[in-house]
Structure formats: C-alpha cells, structure tokens
Amino acid sequence: MDGNRRYAKLRGHKAVWGHWKGATTWLNLIDWWSYFNSSEKQEVKYMTLWALSKENLQRNPEELAGLFAVLTVTFRSIAFTASIHRSQVRVRFIGALTGLPQHVLGAINMLERETENYSRAVMLVAVGYGGRDEVLRAVQDVLDSGEDLNEESVSRKTFCSKLSIPPVDLIIRTSESRTSGFMLWDTQSTELHFLHDKLWPELTARDCIHAIESFASRERRGGK
C-alpha cells in the first residue's frame, strides 16, 4: 500500500493526512473483496495487506505517532466492518509486533479475537514486517528446533506456512515497480502487477478487478 505520503504532499497536507486517506482505501478494499467473493465463481480466499514495514519504524516520531493512531483506529474499524463478518474473514497479523505501542497491540488483539472463529477467507496484515527479517526468523526457528537446515525445513517456518496459507500468487503494488522484499521466501513463482500511475489512496475497485483478470490470463508454469 504505497504512496500515502506523496498523495498528501501533492495536496499540501502532512503525511498523516495521506495515511488516513489510505486507511479509507483499505476499508473500501475489504468491501470490494467481499463483493467479488460473493459474486464470482472463484473466490480470492487469501489477501495480505502490508500496513507497516520494519523500515517504516525508523520514520520521525511525529509521523510514527500519527501512523500508529491511524492503524489503531483502522484495526478497530475493521473489527466492526459488516463485510468482514458477512464474509467470515479471519484476520491474522504477521511481522515483528513486539515493541509496538500498547494501543496498537490492543487493537490487533481485539481484531484477531473478533474474527478467530471464521475460516471462509483470511486477511493477513503485515505490521513491522521485513522480508529479510522473516527469513532470518525462519532459519533461527529451524536451528532452535534442532532440525536440519534445508529448503524444506525453512519453508515450514515462514509466516504463511505457520498459518497454513499457500505461497503468494499475485503481488499488487501501487506507484512503484519493486516488491521491497515482500514475503521473499514465498514469492518464488509470484506474478507481479504494478500500478505505476496510482498512489494507494487513488486505488479503485476497477484497478483490483483488472489486476485479477490480468493474473487469470497468464500462463503459470512455475519454472517448468
């Protein structure tokens, strides 16, 4: 979800204003996802939103305080979003959550608790997430368990694997043409869809449908 700060700057506002606009897009996306799953023959069962990277935690204190406030309100809003409950979406969080402010952790715990009995679809929210950090954690988990360190053992320790979620099929990114290390281990055969001319707050339902249609039209052979 890239481009909130640029969106704000282009309109003469502080960064936090852009983050609030980005949060509105996120809530809209949940509604679009719910509608798509209810109207199409094939569901998109898993969706991951990268809300905050590990590198983002190095931003200036004023912006971080505003960003944490946005996340807290957004998580609590999602917990009471009708489409989440109507579509029975379970929300799970991944990333380095330790060290986050208590109000953010409280909202995370509430959202996970409110949706813990759902299983029709899963929304992962990446907070304090870094691709290299995930791989390092997976390797350390293997070493701590006493298993042999190999491709199979590391694959079992990624966030996706631990939550019984398949590797990533499609990455959609606004405004940039890079993945920034997102889910490094589970994106070996992932398709990419870049929206160069859109900042995250400008994302529309049509953009999402086009990305899915583009993905569906591709021949995926997994290197074979």
- The structure tokens listed for 72 are 């807290």
144 annotated active-site: no
Displacement of CA 137 from its chain's centroid (Å): 19
Of these residues, 56, 133, 141, 207, which one is catalytic? 56
- Beta-bridge mates of residue 127: 52
DSSP state of 106: H
CB 34 within 8 A of CB 205: no
Spell out the alpha helix ranges (H) of the chain: 4-10, 15-39, 61-79, 82-86, 102-115, 131-145, 151-155, 159-162, 205-216
Distance CA 181, CA 177 (A): 12
Cα 161 to Cα 103: distance, rounded to the nearest angstrom: 28
> Nearest CA to 77 among 49, 114, 117?
114
To the query of whether residue 56 is one of the catalytic residues in this protein, the response is yes
Q: Hunting for tokens 């679009």 — which residue is that?
A: 32
Q: Which of 2, 4, 37, 186 is catalytic?
A: 2
Positions marked active-site: 2, 56
